[in-house]
Structures are given as structure tokens and as C-alpha cells.
């Protein structure tokens, strides 16, 4: 909880405000004391949202629906004003952490706690359903842990069963990873009680294992796995397999009812009475709840807020403060670029600048080894981002950079991260710039509670489960399949697609192969043609895929030279269809190996081309001025990583800008970068946001950027 800001009101609806519980793009949640002396959470919506009639109608419905619920395990609305300029509602204050916060910070819960959680949430949902409502967003962030049991909150998207949704046409309402498969498509069935049962099963799996049953990553990939794949329950304790597994069946009719689920979980293991309820949570959660309760009760009543500015100025100030300070920091579009660089590549500092605290970021990269181009791109992008931040007149702190070169060597990587961690000034580390070093850095940073920002390296699908402090701003390689699927389904139609899975370099892109097999382009068929790592007969591969009637070819490998050999073999066979590769092969070596056969190949990539992005014009100009050339691959994404960290640190005002604070705040921060909007699921810490992959085309000896894959509709 944070103190009130000068522009915050002193009271809302008779509730005296004591502090801020969180803030974000929708508005602010305050801790208040009701006229009766009861602590309440007051949720205030920004006026611009309240101006939307559809949103106001949904808010009115939330207040009315939640106000009619009286069960022990739900948090009712005790007061509301849906017609206010800034609509608000008040609920009893629950001092406990959310399930997402508890599991994310302290690990999975024991089986007994999960069973109690399941039984009591089933009871809460039974009351919701009995009132004719469907919750539709049961997830770890909407479950609070109180001393006597869980509390289900946030009926912001609840609606009467069978009612017409108030969301936009084609919108999918819910949270990927906890959304029932039948609701994953906008044209799917109307939400019913079985949909909430599925979501509850996902929540229980997360509580028991620390990860959702359908993994993390890009939202579209998570939804795809939810619809088409079986849940991953390998680490789920055996006592919970039948109950949780039943909830996660694809067909709604096959899932247990809430009553049947309660029977499967067994009688409430928490028993009855205060003594039995008090020990339902494992240490240290009861202590955390007690500390939060004590802090809330000890808060003095603040002095009335004084606002002397005229009304228009007050509104602007309030909006600015709302954006800067809360649970979800939604940073504004990048500020204008400042070009006042000194001869040493930095800015001069004013007297005010010299009085600001200096916070240090680390970069561990291959700067002199085989991957030095990527490492150099990271360093240049980060330095320019630091210059931009330090040039801001409203900066509350300055940023510095400490760089460690691991040369792409495992032993040097292990030593370099130790040196960065040993420097107490380093609050976060960006890196590594090569895949094999990820576990070494992630393990070391986790032990030090130090945020590790992974910008370009590939990570396991369960990275955020393995390493709580790993902030991955790039989808894993599975995300490369989405542009391929789009291109062959919407742009160059291929109903019979051949995937050439090449084991050269020991790492075929099997995630992409699997994605295309499970969701064939144009709803057609996929044949897989595997080439061993020591094989080189691509002409034989081309004969085989031609005999299979292939209309399009995907190179699922990582070798640019061998992709070029395949391109030549396809050209020799006069193959007329679309040919697609992945970013691993999109290198000059492919153009050299393929020659004229490279023309027209399309590539899926997870990095953008900054000169083609209007918002990045200032960054590109600054890069040219500083280094004599445009930004290289991954420079823009590294630049955005600094902006993300700066936004998270700004949100820690009053809470201590240290390693521990940043490693938690950064996953509650959204940042609108040049390459993409970076945000995270609060429960899984997985990357979310708008389309994060791109398409390029080989033309005239270079790779031309086509755009974000969802924007590509025609083949030039």
C-alpha cells in the first residue's frame, strides 16, 4: 500500500481514504474507512472510461450483481455510485495477498491447502450461479487469501446467464490460460457454469504446481493449447489428479458440477471453527496477512486534501499521477528524443541532475565472441535508452549501465553474472544474448532476487515457473509458428503444407512443427520431412514433398546455409508454391547460399525493423548519429527493456527502489515500447500483449520488412 498523493480526494461517498492499494489504466483502488469505521477497498474508475455508455452499463451490472451476493467466500459490494462522474464501488477490505502473489512469491501450496481452496471456491461459485450469474474470469489474481479462507473477487465481467455480452464484437472475454476452450472463440457457446468449473480447475492446478496447465507465452499460443492440447499435469500431486483433471475436460458436459467437484475433493479439510480455519495456509502467508492487517489498522486519518489549481489543471495532474503510480503502470508513448549528447556519448548534467539518485542496470552479452553482433545491438540500444531517460526533465532518478562481456563462453558467463550480482548497485540484469546461457544467468539471478530481462534469447515454455525473477520480453520459439500459420492461411494459401525439419546444429524448430501439425494452415494437412543433422540430400527431400502434393514449404531448422541449400533444391525442381523460413535462417549466409533461389522466401521473426516503425524514427536517427548506421536486430527490443525497467522503478516511489521491489513490480508494469507493448499476466508472469511477431521477405539480396504478421494481407 502507498500513501495518498496530493491530488487524491480525501473521501469518496462518505468513505475516508487512508492510502492507495493500486492504480492503473482503469483507475485507482484506495483503502478507506467507512462511516461505520469498517475498512473498505474503494475502486474508482477513470472518468474517460465512465464516459463510455457500454462500460458504465457493465459497471452498473457489476455493482448490482456483486451487491446481491452474501456467501462467506465472496467479496460483496457494500456501496457504489455507478452514476458518478468517476464511478466507484466499495467492498470489504481483505488484507491477504492474491493467490497469484502468494504462489508467485512463495511457491506452490500444499495439497491440503489446495483442497480447502477448491472446496470453498466451489461454494462461492455455487452462490454466483444460483444468482443466475457466471463469473467468467476465475483466475489466481481474483482469489484473495484471508486468514479464514479464500475470497473470490472482481465480477467486472460477470453477467446474467444467457445474456448478451457487452463486450465488442469478436472480443474474447476472460484470461488466457484460465479461459474455457468453448469461450476461446468469439462465436463459441454462451458461458455457462461449466466454464467457471474449467477455470477453477486451472486455478487449482496453478495453486498446486506454480504454473497454469496450459503453460505461458503469447496469449494466442496459450489459447491454442487450451483448445487443442491436453493440460500439462505431470507435476500435479496424485491426490488432485481426478478432481482437477475432470475440471479440465474439453467438453463442458463432461466436467463435474460444483457439487461433484466438492465430493471429489472430499469434505472441507479445514474443518469448522476459528482454530481449524487459522491453519489453512502454510507459512509465511499468515504472518504476511497479519502484518498487512496491522499496518492497515494503524493508519492515521490523513489531513483533508487541498487542491488550489483550477479544475482543468487538477484533472490533468490527477490523470498524470494515476498513470505513474499503481499496480499496473501503463507508461505513455515514448517521449520525444533528446539529441543533446556530449562528445563522450552522454549528456551534461545540471545541478538538479547531480542531486538525483543513480540506479544501475547490468548487461551481460557476447560482445567479442560468435554472437557479438547481437550483443553489440543490445548495448547500443540500452545506452541510447539510458540517454533518453536521463535527458527527461521530470526524471526522478538517473540510470547508469554496467556491462559484462561473456564472449559466448559458458565459463565466462557464469563468472560474469557473479560479478554483476556482487555489485549492490545493480538492480536488474539484461541478457544473455545467446540461448545456452539462460539457465546459468536465471539460476544466479533467482538466488539473488535480481530481475533478469531476457530480450532476445529463447527460453523454455516454463521459464517463469522455473525462475521467478526472469522477466522474458520475447515469446519463445513457439511464437514463430503464428506468422507462418497466418501467411499460409490468409496470404499465400497452402492446404497441403510440407515442413522440412532439419536437425543441423542439433536444434530443429520442433515447436513450430508441432504447432503446424496441430493447426494446419488453411485447415488442410501437414506432412513432415525430417533431415538428419549430417544429411544433405535436399533434392531427395524435395522429391518426397512434391510426391506428397505439397503446395507450400516451411523450413523448420536453424541453419541459414542449409536453408539456402533447400531453396536451391526447390528452385531446381521449379517448385511454385510459397516458401517460408524462421528467423534463425534469416541471415546473410542464407542469401549467399541460396543465390537467386532466395528471392521470394518469407521469414517469421520475433524482432521488428525499426526504420519501418514510425514511432521509432527518433531512436533510428539517434542511433545513426551515435554509431553511423541504423539499429541492428534486437537493438529496439533492448531499448524498450530499459524503458520497461524505468517505468517499474518509477512505480516504486515510496516503496523502496531495490532489487526485491523491482523483481515484483516489473510484472505489474505495462510499457508501450517502440517494438511492442510489453505487459505480463499477473498470475503466471508470462508475456502478454498485442501481436509480437513479424514477417520479412527476401528481395534483391536483402530482407524487406512486411510488417506485424496480422497486418500482412497480400504478398508483394
Annotated binding site for ATP: 43
Q: Which residues pair with 8 in a beta bridge?
A: none
Q: Annotated binding residues, as ranges?
A: 43
Q: Give the residue from 381, 336, 333 showing the smallest Cα distance to 617.
A: 336
d(CA 384, CA 652): 23
For the chain, the 3-state helix, strand and coil shares in percent, each to the nearest 5, are: 40, 20, 40
What separation, in Å, do the N-terminal and C-terminal C-alpha atoms of the chain show? 53
Query: How many other CB atoms are found less than 10 A from the CB of residue 298?
Result: 7
d(CA 118, CA 502): 46
| Annotated catalytic residue 592 | no
Give me the torsion for CA of 453, 458, 463, 468, rounded to 10°. Answer: -10
Q: Is the distance from CB of 451 to CB of 427 less than 8 angstroms?
A: yes
SS3 571: helix
Q: Give the residue from 392, 381, 376 showing the smallest Cα distance to 337.
A: 392
C-alpha distances in Å from residue 209, one per residue of 199, 281, 437: 15, 16, 26
Contacts 24+ apart (CB under 8 A), 293-296: 293/95, 295/1, 296/1, 296/18, 296/31, 296/39, 296/93, 296/95
* Rg over CA atoms, the chain: 27
d(CA 289, CA 610): 47
d(CA 25, CA 46): 8
* Widest Cα–Cα separation across the chain: 84
How distant is the alpha carbon of residue 118 from its chain centre?
A: 26
**Active-site residue (options: 48, 81, 137, 394):** 137
C-alpha distances in Å from residue 546, one per residue of 392, 553, 570: 59, 10, 10
Q: Burial, 352: exposed, middle or buried (Cβ in 10 Å; 0-12, 13-18, 19+)?
A: exposed
Q: Which residues pair with 604 in a beta bridge?
A: 582, 695
Which positions are annotated as active-site residues?
Answer: 137
Amino acid at each position: 500500500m502507498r500513501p495518498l498523493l496530493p491530488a487524491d480526494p480525501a473521501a469518496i461517498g462518505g468513505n475516508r481514504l487512508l492510502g492507495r492499494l493500486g492504480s492503473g489504466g482503469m483507475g485507482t483502488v484506495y483503502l478507506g474507512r467507512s462511516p461505520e469505521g469498517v475498512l473498505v477497498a474503494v475502486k474508482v474508475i477513470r472518468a474517460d472510461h465512465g464516459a463510455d455508455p457500454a462500460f458504465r452499463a457493465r459497471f452498473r451490472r457489476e455493482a448490482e450483481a456483486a451487491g446481491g451476493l452474501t456467501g462467506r467466500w465472496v467479496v460483496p459490494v457494500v456501496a457504489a455510485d455507478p452514476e458518478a462522474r468517476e464511478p466507484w464501488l466499495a467492498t470489504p477490505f481483505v488484507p491477504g495477498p492474491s493467490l497469484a502473489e502468494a504462489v508467485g512469491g512463495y511457491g506452490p501450496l500444499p495439497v491440503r491447502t489446495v483442497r480447502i481452496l477448491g472446496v470453498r471456491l466451489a461454494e462461492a461459485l455455487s452462490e454466483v450461479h444460483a444468482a443466475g450469474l457466471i463469473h467468467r474470469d476465475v483466475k489466481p489474481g481474483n482469489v484473495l487469501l484471508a486468514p479464514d479462507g479464500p475470497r473470490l473477487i472482481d465480477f467486472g465481467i460477470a453477467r446474467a446467464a444467457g445474456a448478451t455480452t457487452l463486450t465488442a464484437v469478436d472480443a474474447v472475454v476472460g484470461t488466457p490460460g484460465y479461459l474455457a476452450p468453448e469461450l476461446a472463440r468469439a462465436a463459441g457457446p454462451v458461458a455457462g457454469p461449466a466454464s467457471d468449473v474449467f477455470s477453477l480447475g486451472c486455478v487449482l492446478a496453478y495453486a498446486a504446481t506454480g504454473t497454469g496447465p496450459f503453460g505461458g507465452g503469447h496469449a494466442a499460443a496459450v489459447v491454442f493449447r487450451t483448445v487443442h492440447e491436453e493440460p500439462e499435469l505431470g507435476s500435479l500431486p496424485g491426490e488432485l489428479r481426478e478432481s482437477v483433471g475432470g475440471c479440465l475436460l474439453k467438453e463442458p458436459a463432461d466436467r463435474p458440477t460444483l457439487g461433484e467437484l466438492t465430493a471429489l475433493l472430499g469434505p472441507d479439510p479445514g474443518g469448522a471453527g476459528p482454530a481449524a480455519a487459522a491453519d489453512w495456509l502454510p507459512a509465511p502467508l499468515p504472518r504476511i496477512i497479519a502484518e498487512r492487517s496491522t499496518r492497515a489498522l494503524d493508519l492515521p486519518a490523513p489531513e483533508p486534501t487541498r487542491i488550489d489549481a483550477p479544475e482543468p489543471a487538477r484533472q490533468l495532474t490527477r490523470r498524470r499521477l494515476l498513470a505513474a503510480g499503481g499496480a499496473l503502470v501503463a507508461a505513455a508513448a515514448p517521449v520525444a528524443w533528446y539529441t543533446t549528447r556530449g562528445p563522450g556519448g552522454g549528456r551534461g548534467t545540471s545541478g538538479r541532475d547531480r542531486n538525483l539518485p543513480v540506479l544501475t542496470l547490468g548487461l551481460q552479452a557476447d560482445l567479442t565472441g560468435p554472437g557479438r553482433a547481437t550483443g553489440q545491438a543490445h548495448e547500443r540500444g540500452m545506452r541510447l535508452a539510458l540517454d533518453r531517460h536521463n535527458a527527461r526533465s521530470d526524471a526522478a532518478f538517473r540510470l547508469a549501465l554496467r556491462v559484462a562481456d561473456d564472449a559466448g563462453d559458458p565459463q565466462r558467463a557464469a563468472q560474469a553474472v557473479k560479478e554483476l550480482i556482487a555489485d549492490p548497485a545493480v538492480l536488474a540484469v539484461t541478457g544473455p544474448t545467446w540461448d545456452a546461457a539462460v539457465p546459468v544467468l536465471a539460476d544466479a539471478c533467482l538466488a539473488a532476487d535480481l530481475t533478469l530481462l531476457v530480450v532476445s534469447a529463447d527460453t523454455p515454455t516454463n521459464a517463469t515457473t522455473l525462475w521467478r525473477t526472469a522477466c522474458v520480453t520475447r515469446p519463445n520459439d513457439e511464437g514463430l509458428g503464428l506468422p507462418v500459420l497466418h501467411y499460409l492461411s490468409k496470404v499465400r494459401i497452402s492446404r497441403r503444407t510440407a515442413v522440412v525439419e532439419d536437425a543441423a546444429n542439433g536444434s530443429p524448430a520442433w515447436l513450430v512443427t508441432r504447432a503446424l501439425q496441430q493447426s494446419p494452415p488453411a485447415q488442410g494437412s501437414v506432412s513432415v520431412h525430417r533431415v538428419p543433422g549430417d544429411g544433405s540430400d535436399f533434392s531427395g527431400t524435395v522429391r518426397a514433398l512434391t510426391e506428397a502434393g505439397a503446395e507450400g514449404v516451411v523450413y523448420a531448422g536453424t541453419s541459414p546455409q542449409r536453408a539456402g541449400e533447400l531453396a536451391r533444391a526447390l528452385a531446381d525442381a521449379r517448385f511454385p508454391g510459397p516458401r517460408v523460413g524462421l528467423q534463425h535462417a534469416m541471415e546473410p549466409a542464407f542469401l549467399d547460399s541460396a543465390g537467386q533461389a532466395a528471392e521470394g522466401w518469407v521469414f517469421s521473426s520475433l524482432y521488428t525493423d525499426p526504420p519501418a516503425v514510425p514511432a521509432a524514427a527518433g531512436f533510428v536517427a539517434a542511433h545513426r548519429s551515435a554509431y553511423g548506421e541504423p539499429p541492428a536486430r534486437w537493438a529496439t527490443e533492448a531499448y524498450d527493456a530499459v524503458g520497461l525497467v524505468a517505468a517499474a522503478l518509477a512505480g516504486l516511489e515510496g516503496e523502496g527502489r531495490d532489487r526485491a521491489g523491482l523483481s515484483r513490480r516489473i510484472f505489474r508494469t505495462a510499457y508501450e515500447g517502440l517494438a511492442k507493448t510489453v505487459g505480463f499476466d499477473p498470475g503466471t508472469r508470462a508475456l502478454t500483449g498485442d501481436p509480437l511477431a513479424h514477417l520479412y521477405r527476401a528481395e534483391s539480396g536483402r530482407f524487406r520488412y512486411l510488417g506485424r504478421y496480422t497486418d500482412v494481407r497480400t504478398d508483394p
